[in-house]
Amino acid sequence: MTAPRTPSRAPRALVVLSLIGGTLFVLPLLGLLTETPWSRLGSILSDDIVVDALVLSAVTSIAAAVLSALFGVPIAWVLSRLQFRGRAIARAIVTLPMVLPPVVGGAALLFALGRNGLIGGFLNDVTGFSPFSVWGVILANTFVAMPFLILTVEGALNGIDRRHEAAAQTLGATDLEVFRRITLPMIAPSLKAGLLLAWARSLGEFGATITFAGNLQGRTQTLPLAVFVNLQSADREPALAISLILVAISLTVLVSLRDRWWGAR
Amino acid sequence: MTEGLRARIRVDRSPTFSLDIELAIAPGETVALLGHNGAGKSTTVEAIAGLARVSAGQIAVNGRVLDDGGNIFVSPAQRKVGVVFQDYLLFDHLSVQENLGFGATEAKATRVAEQLGISDLLSMSPRQLSGGQQQRVALGRALAIEPDLLLLDEPLAALDVETRTATRRTLAEHLRQFQGPKLLITHDPADAFLLADRIYMMENGRITQSGTAEEIRQKPATSYAAAVAGTNLLHGTNDNGTLTLADHPHTLQTSDVQMAGDVLITIHPRAVSLHPAQPHGSPRNTWLTTVAAVEPLGDTTRILLAAPLPISVDITPASTASLGLAPGVQIWASVKATEIRASPTGER
Amino acid sequence: MRLGGFAVGGLALCLLATSCSARSDDDLVVFGAASLTDVLQAAEEQFEQDNPGIDVVLNLGGSNALREQIRSGADADLFIPADPEIMAEAIAAGDVDGPETAIARNELAIAVPAGNPADVQSLSDFARPELLLGICASAVPCGQLARAAFATSDIDPSLDTEEPDVRSLLAKVAGGELDAGVVYISDVAADPRVELVALKAWEQQSTTYVIAPTSGATNAAAAKRFVDFLQQGEGRSIIQQFGFGSVSR
């Protein structure tokens, strides 16, 4: 290697590569925009299919993010703070849905919670739970989304200065109070990031949902399902309109929340 | 004595390190645990605060057993041991008021803030505070729980030199107001000498000597105690950098110009250099003196100087030989103004 | 660094060229509806045995999706959708050369899990709200047929899912997650895990599979031979063997 006599060279290479890579993201977006039936967009967007899917997706993705936090934060805490045998395996299991094809995840959920699954029959008798319901969608979404929250929060728990927790203990705080008043506020930025990631993953979730919860307009047909099903029909315009909505919502939320939550960095 | 702290602490950390000490502190008494890093000070803090268990022994405050290495273990939350941590560990997501009130009622927090003179900081974030202010908030937070024992872990180490002396003075005042036993963990002899009634010298997990500052200075039991004791302490008054000594007909120049009035002056024995002829150059403190005594201390030799300023000087045996030092020999001594530290004495 | 650069360069060249595995002239590319999967695979094997030198390449998928690929310029010789209307539209658009040839018929049937636990007897059982019931989505032909069957029988179905294709609907019935699903009769015949409940005559709906060469077909002789094979040759008996109805000529 020679001395860096042209210091601008490496950055320029980075810029060129980043531009080439960037077209991978921009071109499909442009493709979607050019295919979109702009003149009929208003009437398509007020279509029952679109409105139902939009409402369902909003409800289920937010519910899945909240559930991911409710159970994911304790899981992250256990993984970070408790020493126990099989912790590495436990961590692998709860992050498995990140690498598992979602369709496999949905099928696995059916084998467990479907009518003929491990506990599905019992669950149905006791609670009336059926996968073909809003709850099925929320469950499938939570299954694929929670690992993102767990990983983010566990990283934060490992990263904070735990002597602050000790200090709180000496001031009389019980373990639960320490968690609520010290640990949780200290990991708040990462928790928000984890919530956002989990929500985004839920909003785009397709494979596990359609495999586990099926596809019925107004009950289990979320935005991605509506796109997929309608792309197969002769009339693709609703699919394109819904895709446009997904892009718009995602961009708006990612831009505004990212700036608000991490903008100071 | 069942009042105050009674502790026999044994912690077996690793095959190469174990802590085995006994401490007794009366109510109102401030005792310093003085030692190098690695002497076992942190382990002692953890054991007394309840953040780690003792392997054997017993820790009791006012007769209440907190840990006996067996069945009894009182959780940190139940101990009522107020801890001021080394870098204070204030909660940045809470205001000063909420930090003070973390383990106490709002009324107590307000009262402690008034006592410590930090009422005007209550609405601020700890991040906005200076080092000295942070230390007072940390002290207030520990005092607000009305602890049975106050534990201060290197309370001045996080501060820079200028603020340290000022903060040490206010800390001394505040410590006097607390009626319980106080344990000060430090590596800085100045902290121990200026803040504590009694000192435990700690080396390699053992107490090697205990006594008042004067007792340790007169009869140091180990070379570490000797090094600590060798630190020359003088009383005097500071007038814009000119120190008039109380007990000796001599003046010194210091760079600590802002510490006016009665001061305690410290000169480290290694900071003094000896010369056969009058030295030229930067040292502003140069005087002709006579060697009073020569004490070999292993790898260093301690030279005791006679009038006008009887202080200890540590030099190498080789220098002792080349300078031909022996009692009665005339020699020039010099110290840089920056090596002469002036600290407020308080009312001690 | 050097080797890595060559690897990246090679990949880039490969991507820039139209295709890394260029098509051979002897290939006959058939775009067929997903419900024909088993039939076409069996037909391919037989046809290649009878016609050495012709290599049949199958692309199986949803009829509308295949139609879309042809519109976008996909390299196809023959097109077999599950819905004559899709074919009609493709011919009208000039992407496929008419006239088309009908090669098979398919009818609806009710698939139930082995043992028929919910005792489904006819299409009218789809109005029972306590059952878990599914059909295909309206976007695919089998869903349109099912909707038409409900409409003509004046049944308001209590559905729990509309699956994106007939195979995933069949899988949910086979797994016992659904009590019944409206599928093609050929699908029930192909899957030993499900049982067939026949529709009543007045409930029945059927569709016809039609075949025609695309306007861009490059292997016309082979294409014609394959059409004949399916319409009147050995292909015809293969179609019947897989549970499809025959088409009167």
Work out the minimum CA distance from B20 to partner chain A, whole angstroms. 23
Position B328 scores a pLDDT of 79
Q: Which amino acid is present at B199?
A: I
Phi, psi of C25 (to 5 degrees): -65, -25
**Residues A215/A229, Cβ–Cβ less than 8 Å:** yes
Contacts for C21 with CB less than 8 Å, ≥ 6 apart: none
User: Rg of the Cα trace of chain B?
Assistant: 22
Residue with tokens 């559905």: C159
State whether residue C8 sits within 8 Å of chain A by CB: no
Inter-chain residue contact A216 with C176, CB threshold 8 Å? no
End-to-end CA distance of chain A: 35
**Residues B28/B51, Cβ–Cβ less than 8 Å:** no
Query: Which of B77, B94, B141 faces A169 most closely, judged by CB atoms?
Result: B77
End-to-end CA distance of chain C: 66
* Cβ atoms < 10 Å from Cβ of B212: 13
Work out the minimum CA distance from B66 to partner chain A, whole angstroms. 13
For a pLDDT cut of 70, what percent of chain C falls above it?
89
Domain with CATH 3.40.190.10 in chain C: 26-105+208-241, 106-206
Would you call C237 helix, strand, or coil by DSSP?
helix
**What span, in angstroms and rounded, lies between the C-alpha atoms of C171 and C167?**
6
Position B186 scores a pLDDT of 92
The residues with which B335 forms a beta bridge, in sequence order, are: B285
**What span, in angstroms and rounded, lies between the C-alpha atoms of A41 and A52?**
16
Inter-chain residue contact A185 with B93, CB threshold 8 Å? yes
Q: Which of residues 46-105 of B touch A (CB under 8 A)?
A: 49-51, 75-83, 85, 89, 91, 93-94, 102-103
Position B282 scores a pLDDT of 57
Position B217 scores a pLDDT of 72
* Cβ atoms < 10 Å from Cβ of A223: 26
Higher-pLDDT residue of B82, A121: B82
**What span, in angstroms and rounded, lies between the C-alpha atoms of B324 and B303?**
12
Which pLDDT tens digit goes with each residue over C58-109?
A: 998 888 888 988 988 888 999 999 889 999 999 999 999 978 899 999 999 9
Whether C2 has a pLDDT exceeding 50, the answer reads no
**Confidence band (pLDDT; 50, 70, 90) for C53?**
confident
Position C63 scores a pLDDT of 86
Sheet of strand B5-14, all strands in order from the earlier edge strand to the far edge:
B17-25, B5-14, B56-61, B64-67
Query: Which of A161, A170, A186 faces B76 most closely, judged by CB atoms?
Result: A170
Which among A118, A124, A215, A231 is the top mutation candidate for probing chain C, defined by the most C β-carbons within 10 Å of its own β-carbon?
A215
**Residues C220/C76, Cβ–Cβ less than 8 Å:** no
| CATH number of this structure's domain B232-344 | 2.40.50.100
The residues with which B57 forms a beta bridge, in sequence order, are: B9
**What span, in angstroms and rounded, lies between the C-alpha atoms of A220 and A137?**
6
Partners of residue A115 in chain C, C-beta under 8 Å: 132, 176-177
Query: Which of A115, A219, A229 faces C164 most closely, judged by CB atoms?
Result: A229
Would you call A172 helix, strand, or coil by DSSP?
coil
pTM of the model: 0.76
What CATH class is the domain C106-206? alpha beta
Query: Which of B78, B82, B85 faces A163 most closely, judged by CB atoms?
Result: B85
B touches C, CB cut-off 8 Å, minimum 3 pairs: no
Position A103 scores a pLDDT of 92
Closest CA to A96 of A155, A138, A147, A142: A147
Closest residue of chain B to A166, computed from CA coordinates = B51
Which pLDDT tens digit goes with each residue over B288-313?
A: 888 877 777 667 777 777 777 777 78
Query: Which of C68, C137, C161 faces A132 most closely, judged by CB atoms?
Result: C161
Residue with tokens 């446009």: A244
Work out the minimum CA distance from C61 to partner chain A, whole angstroms. 10
Position A214 scores a pLDDT of 92
Which pLDDT tens digit goes with each residue over A176-199?
A: 999 999 999 999 999 999 999 999
**Residues A237/A214, Cβ–Cβ less than 8 Å:** no
Across residues C7-34, what is the average pLDDT?
A: 61
3-state SS, one letter per residue, for chain B: CCCCEEEEEEEEEECCEEEEEEEEECCCCEEEEEECCCCCHHHHHHHHHCCCCCCEEEEEECCEEEECCCCCECCHHHHCEEEECCCCCCCCCCCHHHHHCCCCCHHHHHHHHHHHCCHHHCCCCHHHCCHHHHHHHHHHHHHHCCCCEEEEECCCCCCCHHHHHHHHHHHHHHHHHCCCCEEEEECCHHHHHHHCCEEEEEECCEEEEEECHHHHHHCCCCHHHHHHHHCEEEEEEEECCEEEECCCCCEEECCCCCCCEEEEEEECHHHCEEECCCCCCCCCEEEEEEEEEEEEECCEEEEEECCCCCCEEEECHHHHHHHCCCCCCEEEEEECHHHEEEEECCCC
Would you call C8 helix, strand, or coil by DSSP?
helix
Which among A160, A162, A170, A183 is the top mutation candidate for probing chain B, defined by the most B β-carbons within 10 Å of its own β-carbon?
A170
Query: Which of A171, A182, A188 faces B145 most closely, judged by CB atoms?
Result: A171
Residue with tokens 């121990």: B192
Question: Buried b vs exposed e over B11-34: b needs ≥16 C-beta within 10 Å?
Answer: beeeeeebbbbebbbebebbbbbb
Which pLDDT tens digit goes with each residue over A67-103?
A: 999 999 999 999 999 999 999 999 999 999 999 999 9
State whether residue A252 sits within 8 Å of chain B by CB: no
**Residues A171/A69, Cβ–Cβ less than 8 Å:** no
Q: CB-side exposure of A22: number of CA atoms within 13 Å?
A: 6
Which pLDDT tens digit goes with each residue over A157-174?
A: 999 999 999 999 999 999
Partners of residue A236 in chain C, C-beta under 8 Å: 68
Closest residue of chain A to C142, computed from CA coordinates = A233
DSSP secondary-structure letter at C139?
A: T
Contacts for C54 with CB less than 8 Å, ≥ 6 apart: C26, C28, C47, C48, C219, C222, C225
**Residues B238/B259, Cβ–Cβ less than 8 Å:** yes
Strand ranges in chain C using DSSP code E only, listed in sequence order: 27-33, 55-61, 78-80, 101-113, 133-136, 161-163, 180-184, 194-197, 206-213
Across residues A49-57, what is the average pLDDT?
A: 93
Position C191 scores a pLDDT of 81
Query: Which of C138, C162, C175 faces A116 most closely, judged by CB atoms?
Result: C175
Q: Which of residues 119-138 of C touch A (CB under 8 A)?
A: 132, 134, 137-138
For a pLDDT cut of 90, what percent of chain C falls above it?
53
Per domain, the residue ranges of chain B are 5-230, 232-344
**What span, in angstroms and rounded, lies between the C-alpha atoms of B226 and B218?**
9
**What span, in angstroms and rounded, lies between the C-alpha atoms of B309 and B252?**
10
Which pLDDT tens digit goes with each residue over C168-194?
A: 899 899 989 999 999 998 888 778 889
User: The complex's ipTM?
Assistant: 0.78
Contacts for A33 with CB less than 8 Å, ≥ 6 apart: A244
Position B298 scores a pLDDT of 62
Position A225 scores a pLDDT of 94
Six-digit token pair at A159? 């990263």
Query: Which of A172, A174, A182 faces B91 most closely, judged by CB atoms?
Result: A182
Using alpha carbons, list the distances in angstroms from residue A58 to A139, A219, A250, B220: 14, 13, 11, 76
State whether residue B257 sits within 8 Å of chain A by CB: no
**What span, in angstroms and rounded, lies between the C-alpha atoms of A235 and A135?**
30
Sheet of strand B30-35, all strands in order from the earlier edge strand to the far edge:
B81-84, B149-153, B182-186, B30-35, B198-203, B206-211
**What span, in angstroms and rounded, lies between the C-alpha atoms of A195 and A192?**
5
What CATH class is the domain C26-105+208-241? alpha beta
Whether C1 has a pLDDT exceeding 50, the answer reads no
Closest residue of chain B to A164, computed from CA coordinates = B89
Identify the structural domains of chain A with CATH numbers, from first to last.
Answer: 59-220 (1.10.3720.10)
Inter-chain residue contact B75 with A173, CB threshold 8 Å? no
Inter-chain residue contact A161 with B79, CB threshold 8 Å? no
Which among C68, C86, C158, C161 is the top mutation candidate for probing chain A, defined by the most A β-carbons within 10 Å of its own β-carbon?
C161
**Residues B142/B83, Cβ–Cβ less than 8 Å:** yes
Contacts for A200 with CB less than 8 Å, ≥ 6 apart: A250, A253, A254
Asked, as a colleague might, if the bond just before B220 is cis with ω within 30 of 0, I would say no
Asked, as a colleague might, if the bond just before B126 is cis with ω within 30 of 0, I would say no
What CATH class is the domain B5-230? alpha beta
Inter-chain residue contact A232 with C163, CB threshold 8 Å? no
Phi, psi of B286 (to 5 degrees): -135, 130
Contacts for B174 with CB less than 8 Å, ≥ 6 apart: B115, B116, B136, B139
Would you call C61 helix, strand, or coil by DSSP?
strand
**Confidence band (pLDDT; 50, 70, 90) for A260?**
low
Position B160 scores a pLDDT of 78
Position C10 scores a pLDDT of 45
Q: What residues in chain B have per-residue pLDDT under 70?
A: 1, 161-162, 218, 223, 257-260, 281-283, 297-298, 343-348
Would you call A129 helix, strand, or coil by DSSP?
coil
Phi, psi of C211 (to 5 degrees): -130, 145
**What span, in angstroms and rounded, lies between the C-alpha atoms of B235 and B243?**
9
* Cβ atoms < 10 Å from Cβ of B337: 17
Position C17 scores a pLDDT of 42
Inter-chain residue contact A214 with C139, CB threshold 8 Å? no
Six-digit token pair at A25? 């993201």
**Residues C129/C158, Cβ–Cβ less than 8 Å:** yes
Inter-chain residue contact C177 with A217, CB threshold 8 Å? no
Contacts for C153 with CB less than 8 Å, ≥ 6 apart: C123, C124, C200, C202, C203
* Strand pairing class (C78-80; C133-136): unpaired
Inter-chain residue contact B77 with A173, CB threshold 8 Å? yes
The C-alpha angle B229, B231, B236, rounded to 5 degrees, equals: 120
State whether residue C86 sits within 8 Å of chain A by CB: yes
Query: How many residues are listed for chain A in this entry?
Result: 265
**Residues B24/B1, Cβ–Cβ less than 8 Å:** yes
A touches C, CB cut-off 8 Å, minimum 3 pairs: yes
Six-digit token pair at C26? 């002897």
Would you call C16 helix, strand, or coil by DSSP?
helix
Inter-chain residue contact C160 with A130, CB threshold 8 Å? yes
